A = this chain, B = another copy of it.
Amino acid sequence: MHEPAATIEAMIFDAYGTLFDTQSILPTLEKTFPGRGDYLTQIWRLKQLEYSWLRSLTDDYRDFSVVTRDALRYSLATIGVEADTSILDSLVQAYDRLDLYGDALAMLSGLTGRRLAVFSNGTTAMLEALLANAGIRDRFERVVSVDTVRVFKPSPRAYRLACETLGLPPQKVLLVSSNGFDLHGAALHGLQTARIERNTPDAVRATIGVQDSIRPSAFFLALRSQLEALGSRPTMVVPSLTDLVNAIGR
């Protein structure tokens, strides 16, 4: 009854929210806009994703650095700030120095010998900067940016690019991601998928609470961290990147 999955010949890692913590920009925003750090962190990330989808859907592609900047401009406008170029530059550059998640290094050690790539919405320049800052560039055979095909995840063209770059059929590639839309897009294209469930349903429910108001970070987790109700299921679900090493076996 149970058909074994194809052998995993390469693993591709989502960057923002999977290897790198998009929440780690909060102190920078809080320092620049006191009292607004959490709010701005969440609305910026939400609009960044939204703009990536809208630009894809309207065939009006701009690269992820532009999308990130536009999303920041929108976010700042909601608190009455029309930011000048230097502030926008400085904050967008902070996106190239996001923290590596604490479980990434141990995982990379456990995956020595495997074919690994980064696969992200970010531009090649953004991704190379992130990986260099974290000191892990040499652990990846390839850095695959959707910028090559000028459309964002979860367009099928993005997943096709990743598989073709690695020279593998989709079923032999494992996408590792914490982003539900990414897992869904990959599953639709035939890839195997590993969901890093950093926030369990119980944890998210506890964070939401039952107050009249909600922390922006809690609303963000509610919106973004749970498995999407779009009809696909990940091949595997693990609580952290390090758990992935055992989950995929030898």
Contact = CB atoms under 8 A, between A and B. Distances in A.
Contacts of A39: 208, 214
A78 B205 CA distance: 6
A58 interface: yes
A51 interface: yes
B74 A201 contact: no
Given A54-B154, A78-B204, A213-B211, A71 B229 contact: yes
A24 B54 CA distance: 26
B229 A74 contact: yes
A206 B5 CA distance: 53
B223 A60 contact: no
A85 to B, nearest CB: 14
Contact of A188 (B53, B56, B58, B229): B58
Residue in A46, A80, A205, A222 with the greatest tally of chain B CB atoms within 10 Å: A222
A122 interface: no
A214 B216 contact: yes
A172 interface: no
B205 A79 contact: yes
A132 interface: no
Given A201-B80, A204-B78, A213-B214, A223 B55 contact: no
Given A51-B230, A54-B154, 10 more contacts: A43-B219, A43-B222, A43-B223, A54-B181, A54-B228, A57-B57, A70-B229, A78-B208, A78-B222, A79-B208
5 contacts: A57-B152, A77-B201, A78-B204, A80-B202, A213-B214
Interface of A: 35-36, 38-39, 43, 46-47, 50-51, 53-60, 70-71, 73-74, 77-80, 152, 154-156, 181, 184-185, 188, 201-202, 204-205, 208, 210-216, 219, 222-223, 226, 228-231
